[in-house]
């Protein structure tokens, strides 16, 4: 799109509503409320989204405070959608460094049975070990793993580990993890950047498409799976990222961003300075 680089038309959020005018009115109200506020706190950091933050400062006549990444600044909550399966970590301990594909599509996205099986066979055919979060309800019409062929996991001889929910921060920080196949929710995207883990992007809705486009085309720290789920394409993308030279370039890029994410929170870093400005703003 000429007006909104680097986005493509398909990256824009789609409003699936029988009353789109009400949704539009809500968005206008949110924008007006933002402009009328005393300032806006953003879960990002200057070095990651410098041009976008500059555009916001130009658009809004209020202070902008990028003080993220939040998850590295504040203690993690003990609350979780489901019980976190710690067997993920003990399984990762047995894998080679940077070899594992970690797969998690978040707490909302759903797949039909055909898509689920394409994901399963794409992972299996890649010959790479994988840790897959399959929460109950991920597959429409199934309780959990019923759509998998009989003997699927056994035939992989320990190369796969499937759980209902995983301690994601610990998983992404584990040295065995070499790639994160994600829906590109903002929190997951930031966590992957902060741990230096390249991404395979499969956005589903809302802001995820835009996040994925930045990951693949702007920051160049991941690859997109576009135009549907096909096992051959999945297999190829995994190996391009984990085995080929193309993946090595991406790994170097995300390690550079990881270092910037670390520095921004240190004394004198951009997010640290922004937090100081926020505190001063409260008292004036």
Q: What is the pLDDT of residues 196-241, one digit of tens each?
A: 999 999 999 889 999 999 999 999 999 999 888 999 999 999 999 9
HSE on the CB side for 272, CA within 13 Å?
10
- Topology adopted by domain 87-262: Rossmann fold (3.40.50)
- Residue 99: pLDDT band by 50, 70, 90 thresholds? very high
**Tokens representing 170?**
């610990």
What's residue 140's pLDDT?
96
Measured between alpha carbons, how far is 165 from 163 in angstroms, rounded to an integer?
A: 6
Per-residue pLDDT, 79: 55
Predicted confidence (pLDDT) at residue 3 exceeds the cutoff of 80: no
- Grade residue 78 by pLDDT with cuts at 50, 70 and 90: low
User: Taking a C-beta distance cutoff of 8 angstroms, is the pair 131, 88 a contact?
Assistant: yes
* The pLDDT value given to residue 211: 97
> Token digits for 82?
């489901």
**Phi, psi at 130, each rounded to 5°:** -145, 145
> Which residue in the block uniquely carries the two structure tokens 């994901």?
119
Q: Shortest CA distance to 96 belongs to which of 178, 166, 170, 155?
A: 178
Q: Which of 194, 202, 203 is closest to 172 using CA atoms?
A: 194
CA dihedral 72, 73, 75, 77 (to 10 degrees): -70
Q: What is the pLDDT of residues 159-207, one digit of tens each?
A: 999 999 999 999 999 999 999 999 999 999 999 999 999 999 999 988 9
In the block, which residue shows the tokens 């202070």?
63
Could you give the percent of the chain with pLDDT greater than 90?
82
Q: Tell me if residue 203 falls in helix, strand or coil.
A: coil
Judge contact between 126 and 234, C-beta under 8 A: yes
Residue 266 has pLDDT above 80, yes or no: yes
> Which DSSP symbol is given to 11?
G
Q: Assess whether pLDDT exceeds 80 at residue 245.
A: yes
Q: Determine the average pLDDT of the residues in 104-114.
A: 95
- Model confidence at 8, pLDDT cuts 50, 70, 90, reads confident
Q: What is the pLDDT of residue 75?
A: 62
Domain ranges of the chain: 31-68+266-284, 87-262
Question: How high does pLDDT run on average in the chain?
Answer: 94
- Region 67-93 average pLDDT: 84
């Amino acid at each position: 799109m000429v007006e909104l680089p680097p986005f493509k038309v398909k990256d824009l959020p789609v409003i699936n509503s029988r009353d789109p005018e009400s949704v539009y009115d809500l968005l206008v109200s949110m924008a007006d409320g933002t402009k009328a506020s005393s300032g806006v706190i953003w879960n990002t950091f200057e070095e990651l989204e410098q041009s976008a933050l500059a555009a916001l400062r130009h658009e809004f006549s209020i202070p902008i405070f990028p003080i993220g990444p939040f998850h590295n600044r504040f203690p993690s909550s003990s609350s979780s959608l489901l019980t976190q399966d710690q067997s993920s970590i003990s399984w990762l301990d047995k894998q080679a460094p940077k070899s594992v594909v970690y797969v998690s599509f978040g707490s909302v996205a759903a797949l039909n049975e055909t898509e689920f099986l394409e994901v399963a066979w794409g992972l299996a055919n890649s010959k790479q070990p994988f840790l897959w979060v399959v929460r109950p309800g991920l597959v429409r019409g199934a309780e959990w793993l019923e759509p998998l062929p009989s003997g699927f996991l056994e035939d992989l001889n320990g190369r796969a580990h499937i759980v209902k929910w995983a301690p994601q921060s610990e998983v992404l920080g584990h040295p065995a993890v070499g790639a994160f196949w994600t829906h590109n929710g903002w929190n997951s995207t930031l966590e992957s950047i902060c741990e230096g883990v390249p991404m395979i992007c499969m956005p589903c809705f809302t802001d995820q498409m835009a996040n994925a486009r930045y990951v693949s085309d702007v920051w160049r720290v991941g690859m997109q799976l576009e135009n549907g789920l096909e096992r051959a394409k999945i297999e190829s993308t995994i190996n391009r990222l984990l085995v080929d030279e193309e993946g090595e370039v991406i790994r170097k890029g995300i390690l550079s961003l990881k270092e910037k994410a670390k520095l921004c929170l240190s004394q004198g870093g951009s997010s640290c300075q922004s937090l100081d400005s926020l505190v001063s703003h409260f008292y004036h």
